[in-house]
Amino acid sequence: MTADRTGPVLQPIGPFDVDLLAELHHRCFTAIWDRPWNAKSFADVLAMPGAAGQILSVGDAPVGFGITLQAVDEVDVLLIGVLPEARGAGLGPMLLDSLLSAAASRGAARALLEVAAENRAAIATYTKVGFTICGRRKQYYPGPTDAILYERALNSCRIDDKSHQ
């Protein structure tokens, strides 16, 4: 995306971002249903085939991040977080849109995610971006809290697929 000097900027996660990701996660994920992630958790998941992610900054300050895991034409949104002081300004949907566009450019045709049933802010974000409910997992999160499963079709457009160029 293009942006002015103070507007939001999205950049792909690099191998040296794991400490920053752990700090952002610690500040974003504070609900009873959230599980802890440290720098090693991020290093491990980012080393998996199909893992990708983006960091969202405003000015020079990182304010959010998202991580996806893709297998052929399906992508799971593993994590999306925006710092509390930056919430409510549409940054979450912007980040999610960008993650899904990147996944679609790598051939994803369907996106899936799970969210704690009580996580109203995240459910609002997912609904805005076009996700619909496709299932429920009882007592999936600490609490215990149910998980609601969401899905969305993507306009898959592999950058190496000449029929879409």
The contact set with ligand COA (CB under 6 A) reads 28-29, 79-82, 87-93, 115, 119-122, 124-125, 128
Question: Residue 28 or residue 104: which is nearer to ligand COA going by CB?
Answer: 28
Shortest spacing between CB 100 and ligand COA, in angstroms = 14
The CB-nearest residue to ligand COA is: 88
Strand blocks (E) in 59-127: 61-71, 74-82, 110-116
- Nearest partner of 154 among 90, 95, 76, judged by Cα: 76
Residue with tokens 């249903």: 33
Shortest spacing between CB 64 and ligand COA, in angstroms = 7
Shortest spacing between CB 30 and ligand COA, in angstroms = 8
CB 56 within 8 A of CB 65: yes
